[in-house]
A = this chain, B = another copy of it.
Amino acid sequence: MQKLTIQTNHKSEMIDITDIVKEAVIKSGITNGICNVFTPHTTTGIILFENVDPNLQRDYLGHLHKLVPSDGNYAHGKNAHAHIKSGIVGSSVTIPVEDAKPLFGDWQGVFYCEFDGPRERKIYIKVING
């Protein structure tokens, strides 16, 4: 298990953690298997997403904000929208590993989604042999 820390810089943000995940796979010493990338926070998410055009990250966050507005009528306090987004987006992804590399597509990467930053956040990465 590798426990990492990242600093988010905005209220709402997508951070490309593809290289962090690639490095964690190499560090695990495992050549073939699967890799689980997990966030232990409840106002964040982890997804696989296009990592070439940054406009798409803006579109994704902007559209999520439309679907789950921060000023909605929620019973919980001000960051209810961030928890709801987290519950829709998901808190972990599992990726196949081959030749010591996570098998991303050519346009695909892993993103850490911050919905209530900026904060210091943890990421857990676990690679399973198989």
Contacts and interface: CB of A to CB of B under 8 A. Distances in A.
Interface residues on A, range: 35 or more
Interface stretch (A5-13, A15-23, A58-66): A58-66
A25 interface: no
Main SS of chain A's interface residues? Answer: mixed
A74 B96 contact: no
Nearest to A49: B87
Each complex incorporates copies of this chain amounting to 3
Interface in A35-88: 36, 38-42, 47-50, 53, 55-56, 58-60, 62-63, 67-68, 72, 74-76, 80, 83-84, 86-88
Contacts of A76: 53, 55-56, 59
A25 to B, nearest CB: 13
A108 B42 contact: yes
A93 B96 contact: no
A92 B89 contact: no
A117 interface: no
Interface of A: 1, 32-34, 36, 38-42, 47-50, 53, 55-56, 58-60, 62-63, 67-68, 72, 74-76, 80, 83-84, 86-96, 98, 103-108, 122, 124, 126-130
